Amino acid sequence: MKHIVLIIFIVLFSSYTYSQNNEGNNFKFPPLEIGLNVNQLKANDKDIENKMGFGVSICRIWFPEKKISIVSGLLFSQTRYFENYISSGQYSNYKDMTFSLYSFSVPLLLRANFGHMYKIFAETGPSFDLMPVLRGNGIEVTYPPIGNNYETKISGGFDHNLTAFGANFGIGLKFPLKSLKMIIGSSYHCDLNTILKKRTNILYNNYLLIRLGIFIDG
């Protein structure tokens, strides 16, 4: 995972521009968007309660002043959900479980821009998702063949797929605010792979995201 993050960092910052004038040497970074976001998982199952999560992102923008831009970068997200009951075997089950999935997403988006000072944009494209951690907190209920049932509080990691591919669809607005260029937007991430290996018909890493950020134009 360290190597993947390092590669993304190099891609984002390797294309800074270098110029020299009468005042000396100047380094200029490429156009970037840095944002904070909140999200809500959209699991399509009546037994799952979708909860709020959060995330941060940094994206490189190619051709920001053109009608069509290219957007790529790194998005870190925590998505959360609650599940009342999960069968875990012949003699046990989980109940009152709260899960948190931590993921890194690398999108490659095409963005269509409309307007001048106030720019409305729409974007879409695929992403590669790395999901290193799925944690659960709740209760395990055990039904031994002999004796009484008993409950145990549990907390820790759960088995899940580490990688996935996704599709992304978003809209947003870029506008000036004093000396800053602000970004506000909403997007939907649709995971094309299941997370939990043994529950392929229940949960996908699908979530709705709302972000607020700033645009840095070198």
- Asked if the model's pLDDT at residue 44 lies above 50, the reply is yes
**Element at 78 (helix H, strand E):** strand 68-89
Q: Write the pLDDT tens digit of every residue in 94-130.
A: 999 999 999 999 999 999 999 988 999 999 999 999 9
Residue identified by tokens 């792979």 is 193
Of the two residues 170 and 196, the one the predictor is more confident about is 170
Q: For residue 61, tell me if it sits in a domain.
A: yes
Q: For residue 95, tell me if it sits in a domain.
A: no
Q: For residue 209, tell me if it sits in a domain.
A: yes
Of the two residues 194 and 199, the one the predictor is more confident about is 194
Task: Determine the structural domain holding residue 178 and report its residue range.
Answer: 31-81+100-134+162-216
18 band by pLDDT with thresholds 50, 70 and 90: very low
| 71: its two tokens | 């957007």
CATH number at residue 200: 2.40.160.20
Of 195, 191, 188, 193, give the one whose Cα is nearest residue 211.
188
| Amino acid 167: pLDDT | 93
Q: Which residues lie across from 87 on neighbouring strands?
A: 93
Cα distance between residue 172 and residue 174, in whole Å:
7
Of 196, 93, 112, 65, give the one whose Cα is nearest residue 154.
93
Q: For residue 16, tell me if it sits in a domain.
A: no
| 29: its two tokens | 């970074």
With a CB cutoff of 8 Å and minimum separation 6, the contacts of 186 are 170, 171, 172, 208, 209, 210, 211
Q: For residue 199, tell me if it sits in a domain.
A: yes
